[in-house]
Structure 1
Amino acid sequence: MPSKCTTDRLPQNVRSGIAKVLIAALLPVIVAGCRHDAPGPQVAGWQLVDPEQRHPILVSQQPATLNLRVATSADGLTPMQRARVLEFASKSKASDAGNSRIVISAPGGSPNESAAMQAADEARHLMIEGGYSETSIAVEAYHADGRDAPLRLSYMRYVAEAPDCGKDWSENLARTYQNTPYPNMGCAGQRNLAAMVANPADLLGPRTMTSRDSNRRDDMYAKYVKGAPLAAKDEAATVAKPGLSN
C-alpha cells in the first residue's frame, strides 16, 4: 500500500507551526501583488521621476498652407509668387526633413480655372528644379465655382506643443523634507525644448541615415583588396625634410 505523506506523521503542533511560517512568508508577496500605488525606483531617498513623462511634449501633424491669388488673365506665376513657392518648399524640407508630400490644389469650375492650372504646373516644375522628386509632389483639383479661387500649396508638418508650467504649487517647497521632485520640476526645460527644436519630428525618433558615398567606399574597398595602405598620403608641404636649417 502507498505510504502516507511525511507531514502526516508529524505531531499536530509541528504541522500548525509549519503552516504559520508559510503564511508569514507568502503574505508580503500577496500584498505586493495587490498594490497599485507603489512608488517609483529610489536612489538614496530620491524618487526618480522623468520630466518627459511628468511634463510630456505633444507632437502632432498639422497642415501648412500657402494660398496664391491667380487672376483670370494671369499667365502663370508672378516673380513674387515664384519666390514664395520656393520659400515654402524650403520650409517644408527644414520642418519635416523633406519626408512629407507637397500637395498643389488648383480650383476647378471657377473663372480662373485655366490660369490656376497653368500656375500649378509652373509651381510643380519650380519645386522639381529645387530638388523635389516627382513622387513627392501631388497635383489635385478642388471644387470652386462662381469666383476666382486661390491656388493652394500644402504639406503636413510636425508641431511640438509645449506643456503648461507654473500651475501646480500645491506643495510647499520650504517643507519638502523627503527631497522628492515638486510638481513643476523639469517643466520649464521641456517647454523651452519644444520652443527651440528645429524639427519636432526629431522628438519622435532618430532620423534615417543618408545615402553612402559610393565613390569613396569603392575606392577604399579596392585598396583593401589589393593590400594597399588605407591611410591618406602626407602632404609635401607638411613633411619636415632632414638637413634643412634656417
Structure 2
Amino acid sequence: MVLQALRGRMALCKARSVLWWIEGVEKLMSRLILTLLVSFGLSACGAFNGREDALFDARYQHPISVDPQVVTLQMDVPKDKVALSLADKAAIDAFARSYKSRGHGTLTIAAPSGSPNEAAAVSIVAETRAALADAGLNGSEVGYAAYRASSANSSAPVILTYRRYVASASPCGNWSKDYAFAPNNARTPNFGCATQNNLAAIVADPADLIGPREWDPAYAPRRDEVVEKYRTGEVTEAAESGNSSGSVSEVAE
C-alpha cells in the first residue's frame, strides 16, 4: 500500500511538472507572438529608406528638362534700303536685351550672299553692328556669317540668331488614382507637379539648372589697390562711412 501511494504521488508530481512546462511554453510563445506583432506594427510607422524616399522627390517624379533653342530675328533688306528704320532699331534693341538676359555663346549676324541685294545687306550689317553696340554688346559677343541666298530673292533678309535654353516640366492633371483612399500613403501622380512647373516658369536662366555659372573676372583696379596697400602695410579694408553707425533704440527705456 505504501509503495502504491508513493508511485501515485510521483505520477502526480510528474503530471504537474508537465503541466507547468506546457504552461511555460504557452506563455513564452504568447510573449514571442506579441513581440513580433508589436515589431511589425512599429516597423509600419518607421521612416522610409533612401530608395523609397527618392520616389517621393518631385525632381524625379516630374523632372525639368532643359533644351537649347535658337532665337531668330529676320530683317528684310530691299535693294534700295540704305539704313535701318526706327522699327528695325527697336527690334534690334529688344533682341539685344533678350540676348544679354538669357543668351549663350555669340550673337550671330548672317548676311545674304549671291542675291541682288547683297550690297544693301552689307550696309545694313554695319548699321546692325552699331545698333548692337549701342545696346551694350561688345565686339567679342557678336559674330558674323554669310549664307547662300537665291539670286531671285531681291529682299533676302539679314538674320540675327543666338542660343538660349528653355525649361519645361511634365504636364499636370493626372487624376487617375483615388485620392480619398490611400491606406499606404503612397505618392500620387500629381505630387510635386505644380511646384516643378512653377520653377521651370520662373527661373531666370534655365541654363542654371544644368550647372553653375562661371565666375566673373576679378575687378583689376580694386585688386591692385588692395595688393599695394598690403605690400606697404596699410589697412586694406574699405573706408567706413558715417552712415554705417547706429545706436540702440530708446523705446525700451
The TM-score normalised by the length of structure 1 is: 0.70
CA RMSD in angstroms comes to 2.7
Name the one with the larger helix percent: 2
Report the residue type matching 2:106 in the other structure. R
Report the residue type matching 2:220 in the other structure. S
Pairwise CA distance, 1:220: 2.3
* Structure 1: gaps of 5 or more residues: 1-40, 241-246
Alpha carbons of structure 1 residues 194 and 182: separation in structure 2 relative to 1, 3 Å: same
Pairwise CA distance, 1:95: 1.3
Pairwise CA distance, 1:132: 2.5
Q: Secondary structure at the match of 1:138?
A: strand
Deviation digits for residues 94-146 of structure 1 (CA, Å, limit 9, x no counterpart): 012xx321221222222222111210122123324532224641232332221
Pairwise CA distance, 1:57: 1.2
The structure 2 residue matched to 1:194, chosen from 196, 200, 213, is 200
Partner of 1:25 in structure 2? Answer: none
Alignment partner of 1:114 is 2:109: no
Q: Secondary structure at the match of 2:180?
A: helix
Partner of 1:218 in structure 2? Answer: 224
CA distance in 2: counterparts of 1:238 and 1:172, whole angstroms: 59
* Structure 2: gaps of 5 or more residues: 1-46, 247-253
Q: Output aligned runs, 1:231-242, within 5 Å.
A: 231-235=237-241
The TM-score normalised by the length of structure 2 is: 0.68
Partner of 1:69 in structure 2? Answer: 76
Alpha carbons of structure 1 residues 233 and 93: separation in structure 2 relative to 1, 3 Å: closer
Deviation digits for residues 71-105 of structure 1 (CA, Å, limit 9, x no counterpart): 21111322321222122112111012xx3212212
Partner of 1:157 in structure 2? Answer: 164
The structure 2 residue matched to 1:177, chosen from 172, 183, 191, is 183
Report the residue type matching 1:111 in the other structure. P
CA contact (8 A) 1:72 1:115 kept: yes
Deviates more, 1:149-158 or 1:118-127: 118-127
The structure 1 residue matched to 2:151, chosen from 127, 130, 145, is 145
Aligned length: 197
CA contact (8 A) 2:71 2:163 kept: yes
- The structure whose Rg is larger is 2
Partner of 1:101 in structure 2? Answer: 106
Pairwise CA distance, 1:191: 0.7
The structure 2 residue matched to 1:57, chosen from 55, 59, 64, is 64
